[in-house]
């Protein structure tokens, strides 16, 4: 595949088509940080707590 064909293919994708996977991954990340953070088992909560701190995200 030549560079021109590849560039045309990428340019043909709409912003919405490129944004959908990004939004899905962002929602998954939010669930992992917040959803698991409020889980009852201490192991899941502590794992999410450590994950928030590893990203320098204050949680308390």
At residue 10, the pLDDT reads 66
1 within a domain of the structure (yes/no): no
pTM (2 d.p.): 0.47
35 within a domain of the structure (yes/no): yes
Whose CA is closest to 47, among 29, 33, 26?
33
16 within a domain of the structure (yes/no): no
Q: What is the pLDDT of residues 1-52, one digit of tens each?
A: 566 766 666 666 677 777 889 999 999 988 887 777 777 777 777 777 787 7
Average pLDDT over residues 48-59: 76
2 within a domain of the structure (yes/no): no
At residue 35, the pLDDT reads 76
Note down the domain range covering 58.
22-60
Total domains, the chain = 1
39 within a domain of the structure (yes/no): yes
At residue 30, the pLDDT reads 87
How far are the Cα atoms of 38, 52, 53 from residue 58, in angstroms, in the given order?
Answer: 15, 7, 7
17 within a domain of the structure (yes/no): no
């Amino acid at each position: 595949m030549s560079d021109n064909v590849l560039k045309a293919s990428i340019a043909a994708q709409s912003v919405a088509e490129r944004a959908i996977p990004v939004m899905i991954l962002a929602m998954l990340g939010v669930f992992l940080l917040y959803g698991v953070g409020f889980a009852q088992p201490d192991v899941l909560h502590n794992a999410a707590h450590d994950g928030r701190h590893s990203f320098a995200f204050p949680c308390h």
